[in-house]
Amino acid sequence: MSRPTRASRPLGRGLPRTILLAALALLAGCAAAPSRNPLATWVPSPNYDIRRPVLIVLHFTDQDSVQQSLDTLRTKNSGGPVSAHYLIGSDGHIYQLVADELRAWQAGPGRWGTITDLNSSSIGIELDNNGHSPFAPAQIASLLRLLDDLTERLHIPRTQIIGHEDLAPGRKNDPGPLFPWKQLADAGFGMWPQGALVDPPAGFDPWLALAAIGYPLEDRPAAVVSFHHHFRGIEGDTLDAEDLRVLYALSQQLVAAPSTQAIP
């Protein structure tokens, strides 16, 4: 191996160690320094926190490969730039594209309960799936591990996990009727009717129950389609007797545990 010339020697060669360490410390301090407005006098307060997500939104990629999805989520596209915090491959590999505390462009227009700025309020997780195939077991296993981490570390309620189509009925259809919501519920994530389903009492309003869960009702048939995908794995845009039983069970769970309600 040839000896490096003076011009090619590593930066810092020959500098006193104390000077080099001081310079590195200064650079590190600058990198971590908070943003300051030059128009104002900086009088720091310790009374603050980072913005915290309160919801997790699940998507399918509807693309042909993880690599294609990574390219889409990191570049400008014909429809504009999009991103997500995480992407999970069918093999279970987890990729992170955006830091948890930052706002990824993943949810778009929509509403869940009273939450209208979903990008600012949620973590987005993309699943490598074309929307027409079952989700791979390894992928769901990784999703459950990731959900456990995010809900624990970011203090997101374990019930606050929804699909993209739940917040944007009619505009989005992911993760679709093939997504295993019951498997997530068995692991303790998301809302799911518990116990035996019974007929609701006279006067029960299913639309009020849908709204209480979080569904926007500007387009009621579209909201029913999203509800059917999520809670029954079927198509259809009209409510039937089984839907009413499911909605009554969910509404009773909200009454019993209001802290898990989707409307903050």
Q: Which residues are part of the catalytic machinery?
A: 126
Q: What share of the chain is helix, strand, coil (3-state, %, to 5)?
A: 35, 10, 55
Nearest to 56 by CA among 1, 2, 127: 127
d(CA 111, CA 108): 9
Q: Return all residues near 158 (Cβ < 8 A) that are at least 6 apart.
A: 147, 151, 188, 189, 190
Report the b/e string of 30-43 with b at 16+ CB within 10 A: eeeeeeeeeeeeee
- CA 51 to the chain's CA centroid: 15
Pairing of strands 55-60, 122-127: parallel
